[in-house]
Amino acid sequence: MNSDIILETREIVKKFGGIVALNNVNIEIEKGKITGLIGPNGAGKSTLLNVISGFLKPDHGSVVFKGRDVTGWLPHRICSLGLARTFQIVKPFLNFTVEESLLIGTLKKRSGSEAQELIDHVLEYFELDELRSKRCKELNVTQLKRLELARAMTTEPELLLLDEPGAGLNPSEASKFMKMIREINRKKKITILIIEHVMPIIMGLCENVYVLHYGEIIAKGCPRSVCKNKQVINAYLGEKW
């Protein structure tokens, strides 16, 4: 495997009963870059993230992360190797405080004052400092989205998978959130795979884009070339792009 490739999927197939959610999916994620994953509802995007992060086992094919075949590994083990994710529908620990819910990820790699230092840094970075003692169930959507990202960051990932991080946010919140994501990539040198429906966000953030349609990759390349691809226009984008 090319050393610039941090993650590769090889011929992934995932079926749910009669539905073929992923059909021979091959993608390569380049180290240090932001890669986009787009496609219509039901295309298989979240399923692919679930397979990569170990939440689902593929029926066929393999996932190679940092040169190791991690197919079938449990999520926590893949996470320990440096892969973190956020969920399309945020999954907060409702009765935990913001600070407590960050502690869990932190303790994977650190303890005591080191863990606390990391939590303090992440709380400040994601502007959650003043909310540290609030219970998660008291947070609004924007705060929960930031917490979700903060939680993923406490595991100190090399690769971050983001499933529609902008969903549920108004345009100005979404734009602020995307700035945070770009900063995580640039300043912290974390590779990112992002699923997003809002094309200007994909155009602004990503160097490479994959397009899924009915479980198959129908196009890949830089955002500009993907937007001009006839098959992508017909399947997903429409003519306005």
Q: Which residues bind ligand ATP (CB under 6 A)?
A: 16, 19, 21, 39, 41-47, 88
Q: How near is the Cβ of 133 to ligand ATP at its closest, in Å? A: 33
Q: How near is the Cβ of 40 to Mg ion at its closest, in Å? A: 10
d(CA 93, CA 136): 6
62 binds, among ligand ATP, Mg ion, none (CB under 5 to 8 A by kind): none
Q: Is 86 in the site for Mg ion (CB under 5 A)?
A: no
Within the chain, strands assigned E span: 5-16, 19-30, 34-38, 60-65, 68-69, 83-85, 159-163, 191-195, 208-213, 216-221
In terms of CB distance, is 21 or 150 closer to ligand ATP? 21
Q: Please identify, among the stretches 4-12, 85-93, 127-135, 174-182, the one whose residues bind Mg ion according to the rule CB under 5 A.
A: 85-93
Q: How near is the Cβ of 58 to ligand ATP at its closest, in Å? A: 13
Place of tokens 């190797």: 81
DSSP 237: I
In terms of CB distance, is 19 or 104 closer to ligand ATP? 19
Q: Is 47 in the site for Mg ion (CB under 5 A)?
A: no
In terms of CB distance, is 82 or 165 closer to Mg ion? 165
d(CA 137, CA 141): 10
In terms of CB distance, is 118 or 145 closer to ligand ATP? 145
Q: Please identify, among the stretches 37-45, 112-120, 200-208, 233-241, the one whose residues bind Mg ion according to the rule CB under 5 A.
A: 37-45
CB 67 within 8 A of CB 106: no
Partners of 63 in beta bridges: 9
- Residue number of the CB atom closest to Mg ion: 46
101 binds, among Mg ion, ligand ATP, none (CB under 5 to 8 A by kind): none
* CB within 8 Å of 111: residues ≥ 6 apart: none
In terms of CB distance, is 128 or 199 closer to ligand ATP? 199
Specify burial of residue 240 (Cβ count, 10 A radius: 0-12, 13-18, 19+).
Answer: exposed
Map the footprint of Mg ion across residues 137-196, applying CB under 5 A: none
CB atoms within 10 A of CB 59: 14
Q: How near is the Cβ of 77 to ligand ATP at its closest, in Å? A: 21
Given 9, 46, 50, 106, the residue binding Mg ion (CB under 5 A): 46
d(CA 173, CA 169): 6
- 3-23 core/surface letters (b: 16 or more CB in 10 A; e: else): eebbbbbbebbbeeeeebbbb
In terms of CB distance, is 21 or 83 closer to ligand ATP? 21
* List of residues contacting Mg ion (CB under 5 A): 45-46, 88
